[in-house]
Amino acid sequence: MCKLTSTSIAADGQAVATALNSIAVELAKTNPTLAANLKTAATALVTATANWQTGTPTADIETAATAIEALLNAIPQTAAYAPFVAIAVAALDIILANIGTQSVQTGDKVANALKVTDHVETVLPPNAWRGEYKIQGFRAHFENPRAAFAQAWNKQTDKQPEFNFPKL
């Protein structure tokens, strides 16, 4: 995984929040309360990531991201926009795993990838969406997780233009 910097984590939070707010617009059509809670949680993630400084605790980011995952877990997997929810969960998993394994990461990319995978599978709370979409590739786990997330999201927006979700 890549080492966290305050700039990169703030940009990660903003990208995920943009995606979450897009999902919330569609979700509001069937569950306005859940949609409002998702928007509030997205704002909390932006605040937590914008205020984080390299080397400081990541508890606020972890709290915001796990709250978002719980909200996303309440969205039916039959929703027409389900692929976007799956992509958002995968992006959050990468962020949470990268944050959660920073202290044990080394220069060995394979070992780091195994630590991140183990973290997702054993530490993060269960989520029905987990594994529904995998953000693949070297970029996703080592160089630029946000770019890999944006690429996956943007590809899906091309497949489902009826939602008018912004590209990331």
Per-residue pLDDT tens digits for 46-99: 999 998 887 788 888 888 988 998 999 999 999 999 999 999 988 888 777 777
Residue 124 has pLDDT above 70, yes or no: no
For residues 126-155, one letter each, b for 16 or more C-beta atoms within 10 angstroms of the residue's C-beta and e for the rest, the string is: ebebbeebebeeebbbbebbbebbbbbbee
User: Tell me, what's the pLDDT at 111?
Assistant: 65
User: Tell me, what's the pLDDT at 112?
Assistant: 61
Helix (H) or strand (E) holding 159: helix 145-159
Residues 97-103, mean pLDDT to the nearest whole number? 69
Specify the range with the lowest mean pLDDT, choosing from 35-39, 67-71, 123-127, 159-163.
Answer: 123-127
What span, in angstroms and rounded, lies between the C-alpha atoms of 111 and 15?
A: 27
Residues in the chain: 168
60: exposed, middle or buried (Cβ count in 10 Å: 0-12, 13-18, 19+): middle
Alpha helices, H only, 74-144: 82-100, 109-122, 138
What span, in angstroms and rounded, lies between the C-alpha atoms of 6 and 151?
A: 22
Q: Model's pTM, two decimal places?
A: 0.82
Residues 134-139, mean pLDDT to the nearest whole number? 57
What span, in angstroms and rounded, lies between the C-alpha atoms of 74 and 127?
A: 9
In the chain, what is the greatest distance between 2 CA atoms, to the nearest angstrom? 46
User: Tell me, what's the pLDDT at 52?
Assistant: 83
- Closest C-alpha to 127, from 69, 82, 43: 69
Residues 88-111, mean pLDDT to the nearest whole number? 73
Band of pLDDT at residue 6, cut at 50, 70 and 90: confident
User: Tell me, what's the pLDDT at 158?
Assistant: 96
User: Tell me, what's the pLDDT at 5?
Assistant: 78
User: What tokens appear for 141 in the block?
Assistant: 């786990």
